[in-house]
Structure 1
Amino acid sequence: MSEENEWGLRPLTPSEADRLRDLAKAVREDLGRFGPARYNREAPDGETATGGLEVEVDAFDDAAGGI
């Protein structure tokens, strides 16, 4: 289990974070099938649509954590 950081937040373990990243990918794919534009702030080659939905993984074990 990871130690808390200076703000009292415990980062997810690598396996927990990977599980959430896989789930986020599945959510993005499902949303894409239904038509909403998807925003990807990390797209290096301009694949980012203007506006749209962003699916983000919060890698800390707290009340706001998750996808």
Structure 2
Amino acid sequence: MLHRDHPWLGREVEDTATGRRGTLRAIAPEGNSPHPVAWLIASGGGTEWTTDPMALANPAPIAPDALPAS
């Protein structure tokens, strides 16, 4: 489905284009555009929004319980 991998998927990040924070859900094309966008959703839910992947910054730290088992 043209989704891209990203190390911050599932983490809360800042969208520097809007100043909002949300959980990064996917990096994927929007509509017929060949260029991928970042898909985010506010931590409390609500309407998903898109932004340029280059506008992502300041990911939340990975919680110890989210680390893979060794």
* TM, length-normalised to structure 1: 0.23
Q: Which has the higher strand share?
A: 2
* TM, length-normalised to structure 2: 0.23
Q: Which has the higher helix share?
A: 1
